[in-house]
Every structure is written in C-alpha cells, then in structure tokens.
Amino acid sequence: MQVFSIAIHGGAGTILKSKMTEALEETYHKGLQEALYAGYTVLQKGGSSVDAVKTAVIHLEDNILFNAGRGSVFTYKGLHEMDASVMDGKTLDAGAVAGVSNIRNPVELAYEIMQHSGHVFLSGADAKEFALKRGIRMENDDYFFSQYRYDQWVAMRDSDGYALDHSLPDAKEKKFGTVGAVACDAYGNVAAATSTGGMTNKKYGRIGDTPLIGAGTYANNKTCAVSCTGHGELFIKAVAAYDVSCLMEYRGMSLEEAAEEVTMKKLVSIGGEGGMIGADAQGNTVMVFNSEGMYRAMKNSRGEEVIAVYKD
C-alpha cells in the first residue's frame, strides 16, 4: 500500500533551548502541529500532495510567529516584501512570486500563477495585479504589523546591515525564517511549497532562494520534493533543492543520502547554513539541517510523527 506523508519546516538557525521559554516553545510546537495536521488531513482524505503542501504553508503564513505571510519582517523602507513558490512533482508545473505586499497568503498566489497565468514566475506590482484578478485575498498593512518585528527593524534601520529573520546585528543568534512543506500523496505524487518574508532591513528588492525553482523549492515524481530554509544566497549558489534531485536521479542516492550530501557537505563547504525537508514517491521523508536547530515536523500513514525544534 502506498505510504503518504508530509513534512514541514518553520525556519532554521541558532535555535537554542537555553534561549527559549517553556511557554514560547509550546506556542511554536502548537503552530507546527496545527499546520502539520491540516496538511496531513488533506492527504488522509485522498487529496493531492499539491493541496496538502499549500494548506500546510497557509497555516504557517497565518501564524505571526513565522517569517512568512502575517509574520513577515520589515524591509529597509519599513515595508513587507514576500516571496513564495510551489511545484507539482507529477507534472513539473511550478508557480512562484517575489516582492509582493498585502497578499495574505503568498503561497496561494504562487499556486494561482502555476494554474492560471501561463507563466512560472511573477514579481512585484504586476504580480499583485494578477492576484486581484484571481481573487486572492488581500490585507491592509496593519494585518502584517508585529511589534516584535517592528522593534527588530527599528534597532537596525539606520544601519547598512540586515538580519536573517529576527536575529539582531550584534546577536549570536541567526534564524532563517522561511516556512515550507513537502508531501507524497496516496497516489505517489510529490509536491513542495515554500514561503518567506525575507530579511529584516533588506534593500534593493533582494530576493532569496525561496521563489527560485531549483534553489529553494523543487519537486519531481522521479526523485523527490524539497523545500529549503537558510541563508538564501548560498542556497541559490548551490542550486540546493534541485541538487538533491540530481543526486538521486543520476547517482542513485536515496533521499536521505542526497539531502545529507547537499546540506552537510556541499552547503557547509561554501558557508551555507540552514536546512531542508524532503519527501520521495515512496513516502519517505527527511528533515536535515546543519544549524543548531530547525522548526520541523513530519507525519505519515505508517503512524510515525515528529515535531521538533533542536538538534537531537
């Protein structure tokens, strides 16, 4: 019988138990669990892997704790610029969006781009125009306001620096606040989706790996689905998500072997910190990271379930 499964992430980095209160840890745990169960329920009811990953990421985007959707960080100009992507491993269809504001759920826009635009990648104001035509839900700037995120931005807005998610320039913490999901459905089809609010105080319309098919997101039924989280520039240089697929297709590696090779060797060799989640067409999942921690969770039809934050 085909095993179906889902894995999600809510960012990686220097996430230490010593810096986490019990109450905050429980809140993160609850947020991950809600997103995980929402995506898994889609699979359990016979839904597609694409719908499962989209549903899970929407839940993460709606949670102000995570740097995507509602919880997105502030740019240098005090705005929110969000990126997202989705890919269907059965057809290799993909949709991506970069640099949009006021979109409640950027992953929904990425899905609409995949389904109805005739293109793969849209950006900025014109992508927002497409969203309006497709009836994508919008929100005012106030919806995306978080005092915590605002204070982070104020602390560094007069500098030339930027922060990876909610780390401060003088802090030792580095947290990469992308969210994502991968899944394999009951028909053996895989899919991946990723969404982010980018970097605090980012300039020049910077775009990371999240919306780049092959860098932050990739899915192919022949191999696997992958969603990445980390310092985007390095994941772009490594073409990290696609490289996992390539190692499986051309070198015969398993999903676990390929993800370990890219995350623990290739990325480390160029200074790339972060992690990734993956799912193959047999329902196997991986959650691999080279940082101190990664908000992550998985669940499958064999009854296995994991929700974790720190290194084991």
Residues carrying an active site annotation: 178
What residues have CB less than 8 Å from 201, skipping those under 6 apart?
74, 75, 76, 153, 156, 157, 159, 161, 162, 163
Backbone angles phi, psi at 130, to 5 degrees: -60, -40
What residues have CB less than 8 Å from 296, skipping those under 6 apart?
7, 8, 9, 10, 32, 275, 277, 287, 289, 306, 307, 308, 309
What are the tokens at 266? 């290739």
Sign of CA dihedral 113, 118, 121, 125: negative
Q: What whole-number distance in Å separates Cα of residue 64 and Cα of residue 68?
A: 8
| C-beta neighbour count of 247 within 10 angstroms | 22
Tokens 């009951």 correspond to 186
Output the CA torsion 198→199→203→205 (10° steps): -10
Supply the DSSP symbol for 95: E
